[in-house]
């Protein structure tokens, strides 16, 4: 689905729940059981209230492009982007299966997992 | 407690090399250290405070103090804030002097990314695997260039900033670089040249990016009594600020930088306003870096930066706010991929009246150096330093 080979993400003891869910095809977002807020990137300590009580909730998988850039200089040009999730936080990702020339800020996108070699799939987004 | 007036920049030296395949990094550090001490009229035996950052080989202070054979140290500081480290370290040196922890502070920077063939801006760099964000950034091909590009894209969307307006920043830098015999890109460029150069990462073109160069620089900062006993013009540190800006759990605005916090802190300490500043050195890893920092420092309103930098407003002699009169990172050099040191050095030249006559600002008695280190598109450190000629 994309030409660029995606690097295997570094999985740590802290991020393992996220990547285990990804292996099962589920996109989960870390949400604090104490303050109710969802944060990004995922961590074990809530960046908003400090609680260590994080629920891994199934995400809607929808968002809008906050900003993006097409890396023209790469052998296989690719679109990097920040996508603001329906749950609130904005995350770094790639936009795939898209026309680079019509990508725009505010565009609606949906999550799609991209395979990595011998690693968990990583959440990407495509227009829709 | 304030550092205002407690320390003076007595020595400044910029290595003339831009390509040093025949020199080691430690050797370059030593050459700039000796250059700055000679500029001040001091020697290694006078140095009792040593300051360096992540570009220093090995663990930093211990390795370099030994290489330089500094034997009188009673204060060391290796704060690593990326490319702006040296702007911050100048403030740290002033604070250490104010506290009596040292009398003569030496700060060094050097590196050879050009000789080592680093494609620093366009290749994703795998960092420390213990960095908690690494797994959520590296797979996506985040590079220096496309991170800053997303700041530019958002700024354009939010405020109507154009590629042509960004290009004016490069044009102004090239006007200054034409007078610098050491500059890597001494040719004048036009707005049309910049926007016609190949796209690297939308919306940034090749000429929106800084150069990759070898080299280095050093500063010597001293107690007032020592500064007054030397024969160099008196350049006093009057204000400093530093901060970190990051993605705040996913709630961020890419159109502002840490300069919005470090700048006001430095202005408050110095007791001056942006309108009082005669010359600015602004870290210019990319054109957008300059525009965002100028807004955050209060030289114009947030969002008005595009209009502010246009029509040559940053060109010395004709514009209202002369910037980076050595040609900056955009045209002159970017030693070790860290532009903070050369920002302070050119401000010192301006305050001493020792800039190239074609770019020397008249009656330059108050100058500001501003840097952001690491990545504006994710997390970065910002440092602001205000200096006054006495
Ligand atoms: Zn919380």
B177: pLDDT strictly greater than 90: yes
What are B155-171's pLDDT values in tens digits? 999 999 999 999 999 99
Contact criterion met (CB < 8 Å) for B157 and A105: yes
Q: What is the mean pLDDT of residues B310-323?
A: 97
Contact criterion met (CB < 8 Å) for B249 and A42: no
State the distance from the centre of ligand 1 to the C-alpha of B82, rounded, in angstroms: 30
Distance of residue B239 Cα from the nearest chain A Cα, in angstroms: 32
State the distance from the centre of ligand 1 to the C-alpha of A12, rounded, in angstroms: 21
Distance of residue B113 Cα from the nearest chain A Cα, in angstroms: 19
Pairing of strands B49-51, B104-111: parallel
What are B333-344's pLDDT values in tens digits? 999 999 999 999
What are B45-86's pLDDT values in tens digits? 999 999 999 999 998 999 999 999 999 999 999 999 999 999
pLDDT band at A1 (very low <50, low <70, confident <90, very high): very low
ipTM exceeds 0.95? yes
Q: What is the mean pLDDT of residues A75-104?
A: 96
Q: What is the mean pLDDT of residues A103-126?
A: 96
Residue of B nearest to A117 (CA): B139
Which pLDDT value is given to residue B120?
65
B109: pLDDT strictly greater than 90: yes
What pTM value is reported for the model? 0.97
Residue B328 to residue B211: CA distance in whole angstroms = 9
* Least confident residue range of A93-107, B106-120, B235-249: B106-120
Which pLDDT value is given to residue A3?
58
What are B249-262's pLDDT values in tens digits? 999 999 999 999 99
Q: Please give the structure tokens belonging to residue B174.
A: 């090239």
Which pLDDT value is given to residue B123?
77
DSSP letter for each residue of B156-208:
HHHH---HHHHHHHHHHHHHHHTT-TT-S--S---HHHHHHSPEEETTEEGGG
What are B4-22's pLDDT values in tens digits? 999 999 999 999 999 999 9
Which pLDDT value is given to residue B196?
98
Q: What is the mean pLDDT of residues B239-247?
A: 98
Cis bond upstream, residue B256 (ω within 30):
no
Judge contact between B61 and B68, C-beta under 8 A.
no
Which pLDDT value is given to residue A121?
97
CA dihedral of residues B137, B141, B147, B151 (deg, nearest 10): -90
Q: What is the mean pLDDT of residues B351-374?
A: 98
Q: Please give the structure tokens belonging to residue B37.
A: 């001490």
CB contacts, 8 Å: A6 with chain B? 139-140
Interface test with B, best of A34, A37, A64, A80 (most B CBs within 10 A): A80
Mean pLDDT, rounded, of chain B: 97
pLDDT band at B121 (very low <50, low <70, confident <90, very high): confident
In chain B, the N- to C-terminal Cα span, in Å, equals 21
Mean pLDDT, rounded, of chain A: 95
Interface test with A, best of B127, B133, B134, B136 (most A CBs within 10 A): B136
Q: What is the mean pLDDT of residues B121-149?
A: 88
Partner residue opposite A73 with nearest CB, options B122, B142, B251: B122
In three-state secondary structure terms, A106 is: coil
Strand order in the sheet with B49-51: B75-77, B49-51, B104-111, B215-222, B8-14, B235-245, B380-389, B366-374, B279-282
Which pLDDT value is given to residue B124?
76
Three-point CA angle A68, A74, A78, nearest 5°: 35
Integer-rounded Cα radius of gyration of chain A: 15
């Amino acid at each position: 689905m994309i030409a660029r080979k995606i690097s295997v993400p570094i999985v740590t003891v802290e991020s393992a729940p996220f990547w285990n869910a990804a292996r099962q095809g589920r996109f989960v977002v870390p949400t604090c059981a104490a303050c109710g807020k969802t944060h990004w990137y995922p961590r074990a300590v809530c960046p908003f209230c400090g609680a260590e009580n994080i629920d891994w909730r199934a995400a809607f998988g929808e968002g809008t492009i906050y900003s993006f850039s097409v890396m023209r200089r790469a052998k296989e040009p690719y679109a990097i982007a920040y996508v603001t999730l329906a749950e609130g936080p904005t995350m770094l990702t790639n936009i795939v299966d898209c026309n680079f020339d019509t990508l725009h800020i505010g565009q609606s996108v949906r999550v799609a997992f991209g395979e990595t070699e011998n690693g968990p799939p990583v959440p990407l987004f495509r227009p829709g | 407690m304030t550092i205002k007036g407690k320390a003076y920049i007595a020595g400044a030296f910029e290595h003339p090399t831009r390509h040093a395949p025949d020199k080691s990094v430690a050797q370059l550090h030593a050459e700039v250290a000796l250059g700055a001490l000679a500029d001040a009229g001091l020697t290694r035996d006078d140095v009792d405070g040593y300051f360096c950052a992540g570009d220093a080989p090995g663990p930093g202070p211990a390795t370099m103090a030994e290489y330089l054979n500094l034997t009188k140290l009673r204060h060391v500081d290796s704060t690593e804030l990326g490319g702006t480290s040296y702007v911050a370290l100048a403030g740290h040196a002033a604070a250490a002097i104010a506290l009596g922890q040292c009398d003569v502070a030496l700060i060094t920077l050097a590196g050879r990314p050009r000789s080592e063939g680093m494609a620093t801006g366009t290749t994703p760099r795998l960092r420390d695997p213990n960095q908690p964000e690494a797994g959520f950034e590296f797979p996506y091909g985040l590079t220096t260039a496309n991170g800053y590009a997303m700041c530019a894209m958002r700024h354009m969307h939010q405020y109507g900033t154009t590629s042509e307006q960004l290009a004016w920043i490069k044009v102004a830098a090239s006007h200054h670089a034409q007078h610098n015999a050491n500059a890597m890109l001494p040719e004048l460029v036009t707005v049309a040249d910049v926007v016609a150069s190949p796209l690297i990462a939308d919306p940034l073109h090749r000429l929106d990016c800084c150069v990759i160069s070898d080299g280095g620089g050093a500063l010597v900062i001293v107690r007032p009594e020592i500064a007054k006993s030397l024969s160099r013009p008196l350049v006093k540190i009057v204000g400093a600020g530093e901060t970190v800006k990051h993605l705040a759990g996913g709630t961020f605005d890419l159109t502002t930088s840490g300069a919005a916090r470090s700048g006001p802190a430095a202005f408050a300490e110095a007791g001056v306003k942006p309108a009082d500043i005669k010359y600015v050195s602004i870290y210019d890893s990319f054109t957008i870096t300059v525009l965002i920092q100028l807004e955050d420092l209060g030289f114009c309103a947030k969002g008005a930066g595009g209009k502010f930098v246009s029509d040559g407003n940053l060109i010395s002699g004709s514009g209202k706010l002369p910037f980076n009169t050595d040609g900056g990172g955009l045209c002159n050099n970017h030693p070790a991929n860290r532009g903070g040191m050369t920002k302070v050095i050119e401000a010192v030249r301006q305050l001493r009246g020792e800039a190239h006559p074609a770019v020397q600002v008249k009656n330059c008695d108050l100058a500001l150096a501003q840097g952001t280190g690491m990545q504006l598109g994710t997390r970065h450190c910002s440092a602001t330093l205000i200096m006054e000629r006495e």
